[in-house]
Amino acid sequence: MSLAVPVGVDGVRADRFVADATGMSRAHVQRLIREGRLTRGAHAIRANVPVFAGDALELDIPDVRPLEVEAESIPLVVVYQDDDVMIVDKPAGLVTHPAPGHAAGTLVNALLALGGPETFGGIAGIARPGIVHRLDRDTSGLLMVARNDRAQASLMAQLKARRVKKTYLALVAGEPPATVGRIEAPIGRDPRHRTRMAVVPDGRPAVTAYRVRERFGTWTLLEVDLITGRTHQVRVHLASIGHPVAGDVVYATGAARRGPDGLARLFLHAWRLELEAPSGGRMIHATAPLPLDLEDVLDRLRGGSPERGGARGAAGRTVPGA
């Protein structure tokens, strides 16, 4: 893969530039660099070497090797599918891809039960077939999966260019005074708690927009547009303005951390996706209704009895693993 460093990029670390330019995770790019697969002028360069406008880089992406991750029969709700893209409705509690401490029982394990690694795009690494973005373990909702390398490159490019519209539903503590709001605050590692993210001066630019959907006095249901895609962005941004997501055990405290009666997990759901089909200019629109456990919480806040069934049937079809 040829990567030309554009005008205006001077002194950026090679690993960061390549990760931003390709949409690959920085950790995966660093692994490729350690293997000597990033060159400038036919010479391998290190991850921390700065690159400058006009540099011509070559990234050698190896062929997909047999996966050590095993297929598992985990049912998936497929909301949309064509030759390039599959959109699934990930349940809360399911990790997106294998990682330390989660070698099995992930969405990737479920995908492999639908076909081998060749069934999905491989440019994000052998442990992430088809993966172009992720949802936190406790977040439910829509997640795109690429079914070939070309589609994976297209979706990564769309995400980088902010052409994919991702809208979440979030129940937050308190009452935001404005019906419509926009949060622009850089996000990076929390200097006091390195496993958490925070709004920090030297963080990466991050933008979140929100609209009030329904008010319940001490709680408010928001539609949240993720303009950028930083780790834990929705949770960090909403907590930073004093309205943390209900049930967030990391970024909320007190009553917000517990959430309203009946809530047993984070009230955050990836509700809607809009993207351009990798083959042709048509738009793909997908939605996933709130899971029943979250709808039940809203029913209690409205003062009504939980109503089960109905809306869930429109979410898609459940595909069991092979």
Q: Which residues are catalytic?
A: 136
Q: What is the DSSP letter of 242?
A: T
Contact criterion met (CB below 8 Å) for 56 and 4: yes
User: What phi and psi values does residue 75 have, to the nearest 5 degrees?
Assistant: -60, 140
Region for residue 69 given its phi and psi (left: phi exceeds 0; alpha: psi -120 to 50; beta: otherwise): beta
Quick check: 291 and 267 in contact, CB under 8 A? Answer: no
Long-range CB contacts for residues 130-136, cutoff 8 Å, separation at least 24: 130/86, 131/96, 131/97, 131/107, 132/23, 132/156, 132/159, 133/159, 133/229, 134/96, 134/97, 135/90, 135/96, 135/270, 136/232, 136/235, 136/266, 136/268
H or E segment at 294? helix 292-302
Residue owning tokens 């690694």: 117
Let me know: does 82 contact 91? Beta carbons within 8 Å. no
CA dist list (Å): 307 to 90, 192, 298, 299: 22, 43, 10, 8
CA–CA distance, 140 with 19 (Å, rounded to integer): 26
Tokens of 10: 């001077």
Tokens of 28: 């995966």
What is the spatial distance between Cα 270 and Cα 5, in angstroms, rounded to a whole number?
34
Burial zone of 8 (CB within 10 Å; 0-12 exposed, 13-18 middle, 19+ buried): exposed
Half-sphere exposure of 198 (CA within 13 A, CB side): 11
